[in-house]
Amino acid sequence: MKKIIIAMSLSVLLAAGTSCKKKNSQGISYIKTKSGIEMAYLPGGEFMMGEPGKEHKVVLSPFYIDKYEVTQEMFKKLELPNPSHFKGDKNPVEMVAWVNAAVYCNERSLEEGLNRCYNEDTWECNFEANGYRLPTEAEWEYAVKAGTKTKYYFGAEEKNLK
């Protein structure tokens, strides 16, 4: 079963197949979820995670991640409170607590007829559920590096972080 991740100022993962895949000119596959959110397929694989000198090899299964950050409009659609300082429907959700991000994952899962990943009494994640969840640190770093071998997807120079 393939995993799916959603990116946002909070990021989410899904463990279910969804609608049809499309490929762009770079060969990256995309899907559109039942709620109309675009996700990119990451093939999984191995990469070196961590700071230079403290790196370790991580192997990941394939997964999907949201193509865009989760917007305040998406929070509003699910009738969730907007924690953002910089208001605007098209703006990404920011200043969000982890618990609120997990609630978003559960609500999005329910909206699409999927099983919730988070137990809202204990906040434990059921990684076998077919709903959305937040990515692990390794999944997030793998997605952000975009297949590169450098510290950042654009190279190793911190001065280019702007």
Give me the tens of pLDDT residue by residue for the chain, a chain 162 residues long.
Answer: 444 444 444 555 554 444 455 665 455 789 999 999 999 898 888 988 888 789 999 999 998 899 999 999 999 999 999 999 999 999 999 999 999 999 999 999 999 999 999 999 999 999 999 999 999 999 988 888 877 777 777 777 778 777
| Identity of the amino acid at 96 | V
The DSSP bridge partners found for residue 32 are 38
Q: Which two tokens stand for residue 90?
A: 């098209």
Degrees to nearest 5, angle at CA 29 with 105 and 162 = 70
pTM, two decimals, is 0.80
Collapsing DSSP to helix, strand or coil, 83 comes out as: coil
Please, are residues 103 and 82 in contact by the beta-carbon 8 Å criterion? Answer: no
* Structural element, H or E, at residue 159: none
Nearest-Å Rg of the Cα atoms of the chain is: 16
Rounded Cα distance between 107 and 109, Å, is 5
